[in-house]
Amino acid sequence: MLTFKSMEKIAIASGKGGVGKTSLTLIIANFLKSKGYKVGLLDADIHGPNLVQLLVSNNDVSSPKSDKGTNQLVPQIIKNFVVNSIDFSMSKEEATIWRGPLVSKVIKHLYLNTKWGELDYLLIDMPPGTGDAYLTILDSLEIDKILLVAVEDDFCISNLHKTCSLINKLNKQSLGIIENLSENFSVPSSPVISKRIKNEFDDEILFVLPRLPRKIFYQEVNNLDKLRRYIPENFLI
Ligand SMILES: Nc1ncnc2c1ncn2[C@@H]1O[C@H](COP(=O)(O)OP(=O)(O)OP(=O)(O)O)[C@@H](O)[C@H]1O
Ligand SMILES: [Mg+2]
């Protein structure tokens, strides 16, 4: 049923909540788009979908429709990204009070039944933890590549070890770690890799983003004005 062949499917994961997975999904998406690639975004955070909110500040999106011929979900095209999220089908204040099996079913539905079209990359914004969404995405749906997000913080590092152990158990490939919210600087505005993260994980640290003032960061996620300098020119390409 899937229409893509050579698309790179990459899950952006961490283990810990609030470390920048959703923000980095969009930062990477904007980076790849600026290089001319066609990017799809799948929000796999069923209980706390924030991707669309971050992408369109006014939340002005319509409900998904089905393609009459194929019965597939027609994704939204937002800022040239092909996007699907449970957020399109729920009211903004409504909680998804769903147990694991239903969460898995919804993720599978969003992934398998969306008419993604021809994409170069599908980026999957993962929820926190190592629960049902991870087993569904990495195991049942056989997504093999994972970008890890780390913050130099006891809780994040401890949870990231759990995520790494899950990745190993499922024989998946970590593409490396993106360190976020760094407060280690060599010179102003030039963050350096955390020695602790470097020592505790075998994964390559791909780049480091500093902690920016919140207001600036929100703008940066979409325009990459100041953030672009931290991302290697050939990142993922
Ligand atoms: N480098 C940064 N500088 C400043 N603020 C940041 C940075 N990275 C993330 N944030 C802020 O941290 C908060 C959490 O980010 P985000 O929602 O992307 O994390 P998450 O890992 O997806 O969270 P969750 O696990 O809840 O889905 C947001 O308010 C975001 O704007
Ligand atoms: Mg998130």
How distant is the alpha carbon of residue 24 from its chain centre?
6
Q: Over the stretch 44-59, which tens digit does the pLDDT of each residue have?
A: 999 999 999 999 977 6
* Helix or strand run (H / E) with residue 23: helix 21-34
Q: How far is the CA of 22 from the centre of ligand 2 (A)?
A: 4
Count, residues in the chain: 237
Copy the structure tokens of residue 49: 């979908």
Q: How far is the CA of 133 from the centre of ligand 1 (A)?
A: 19
pLDDT given at position 70: 82
Name residues whose C-beta falls within 8 Å of residue 60's C-beta, 6 or more positions apart in sequence.
none
Q: Over the stretch 190-232, which tens digit does the pLDDT of each residue have?
A: 899 999 999 999 999 999 999 999 999 999 999 999 999 999 9
17 Cβ closer than 6 Å to some ligand 1 atom: yes
16 Cβ closer than 6 Å to some ligand 1 atom: no
Q: Ligand 1: which of 12, 16, 22 to mutate, most ligand atoms within 8 Å of CB? A: 22
pLDDT category at 1 given cuts 50, 70, 90 is very low
Phi/psi at 221 (5° precision): -55, -35
